[in-house]
A = this chain, B = another copy of it.
Amino acid sequence: MNTVHTLVDNRPSIPCDTVRDPQSWEALLSAPRTKTMRVTQHSVIYYEGDPADRIYQVVDGAVMLFKLLPDGRRQVVGLLGPGDLFGLPAGEDQDSAAETLVPSVLKAIERRDVEGSAVFQAHINGCLLRQIAGLRDHSVLLGRKSAFERVASFLMYLVPGRGLGEACAGRPDGDDDEAVVRITMTRQEIADYLGLTIETVSRIISDMKRKGFLAADRHDRLRIVDVCALCRKSGSH
């Protein structure tokens, strides 16, 4: 917890060609010590307990954070997409494991490069606040929602441009409020995210099809017939 306060004098200009101390987050991403990683689906980036000497940003793809109980029960504690940061725990070691859900491109930034810089701290701060908001919403889901509501909430989360909050607000609830979502997670991953079993997730999705909320395009692709209708079943509206 011994933060080194490098008080960077931030003058307005910043022509900043190949600075030793990059002045913006974008510059940091292309700094010499920052590495770009291209990783395949289901690659483990780190395990819980690994030393946290780098932080990561998702450039493209998707990453899942999870924790395990000693007996093997797993809980997914975060889903990350482009722009999100991960790998920055409170202590010295990672407090969760990180694994890619799809082939991804990541930036690995040396932790010491971000500590002490006001610009980076502010950027990181924003990311952390968004993660906290997401975790709080997810606590409500895990603690208070039924299985049906959990799956409905999850599907809403997958609808582009309607992540959780703005879900139902978007368009008038007239006809043709359709959306096609790609499911890039396995049933097991979804179950571990929603605090359910694989069988329950499967049953709920079948049930949603039977009730006309969903139509099957393919195995890894679902058509939500009426986004608003499903959203109203998510418990949040």
Contact = CB atoms under 8 A, between A and B. Distances in A.
A5 B77 contact: no
A195 to B, nearest CB: 3
A144 B7 contact: no
A90 interface: yes
Interface of A: 1, 3, 5, 7-8, 65, 67, 69-71, 73-75, 77-78, 88-91, 95-96, 116-119, 121-126, 128-133, 135-140, 142-145, 192, 194-195, 235-237
Nearest to A24: B5
B69 A144 contact: yes
A37 to B, nearest CB: 23
Contacts of A123: 3
Given A7-B118, A90-B129, A132-B132, 11 more contacts: A5-B119, A65-B136, A67-B140, A69-B144, A74-B144, A90-B126, A90-B133, A121-B121, A121-B125, A135-B139, A143-B192
